[in-house]
Amino acid sequence: MERFGHNLSNAFNFKIKAWSPIQFYEDIVLPKLIEERLIRISPFANRLSFDAPPAVQRLRCLANFEALKFSKPITTISNTLISRMREKSAENNGKYVAVHLRFEEDMVAFSCCVFDGGDNEKKELDAAREKGWRGKFTRPGRVIRPGAIRMNGKCPLTPLEVGLMLRGMGFNNNTAIYLASGRIYKAEKNMSPLLEMFPLLQTKETLALDEELAPFKVV
């Protein structure tokens, strides 16, 4: 890192097309990696085709896991949240269920699914798609079929659907739940049935003070 001034942004950056085949990495990326000894791949998500052999997929998962290092402030606040969640779950011997609910506006918009339907939802999600992906969903020839997307199981679960799934798994309303998520799309309306089913539900906002979370909020 010394020759890059200990700044990773100075390293050679590969702009790799999403879902690139292994052959591309062998022919193009590997020679540059050998030459530079350190390279960046940005953006990083979905840069390798999913038709790669299982051994390569396992290697990718292992590399991502080993590379994932949280900063000390994040580790500290995480431990604080876990400790407080265990206190809130005292009646369950400190045990709780952690649920990662992916129903933020950007996730809902990206899915191109229809939820409540109607003109207002369409306008909101069309605007969110344009803001986040600038024409990706409106380019010529792009056909979006919300019904087919839902039939293929690619729509994010609503809070209500998550609650029904948990109930189906045998969790009752005495179950303590930690809900990990960003800002839920239309939270007041969509979270109501989940909270009714699981009144012991907690989030980072209910477990931590505003000043504790302030350093991690994106302005």
- Domain residue ranges of the chain, discontinuous segments joined by +: 2-67, 71-102+157-219, 104-156
The per-residue pLDDT for 68 is 81
State the alpha helices, DSSP H only, in the chain.
22-24, 30-36, 54-67, 72-88, 105-111, 119-133, 146-151, 159-168, 187-190, 192-197, 204-207, 210-213
DSSP 8-state secondary structure symbol assigned to residue 161 = H
CA–CA gap between residue 133 and residue 174 (Å, rounded): 41
CA 218 → CA 83, 136, 213, 214, distances in Å? 25, 25, 11, 9
What is the structure's pLDDT at 48?
A: 85
CA–CA separation, 138 and 116 (whole Å)? 22
Beta carbons of 175 and 95 less than 8 angstroms apart: no
pLDDT reported for residue 219? 63
Dihedral class, residue 177 (left if φ above 0, else alpha if ψ from -120 to 50, else beta): beta
pLDDT of amino acid 77 = 96
Q: What global pTM score does this model have?
A: 0.77
* pLDDT lower than 70: segments of the chain: 1, 219
Bridge partners of 202, per DSSP, are 178
Gap between the Cα atoms of 164 and 194, Å rounded: 8
Residue where the block lists tokens 């591309």: 24
- For residue 172, the Cα-to-chain-centroid distance in whole angstroms is 26
SS3 (DSSP) at 196? helix
What pLDDT, on the 0 to 100 scale, is given for residue 99? 96
Q: 60 near 22, Cβ under 8 Å?
A: no
The neighbour count for residue 207, using CB atoms within 10 Å, is 19
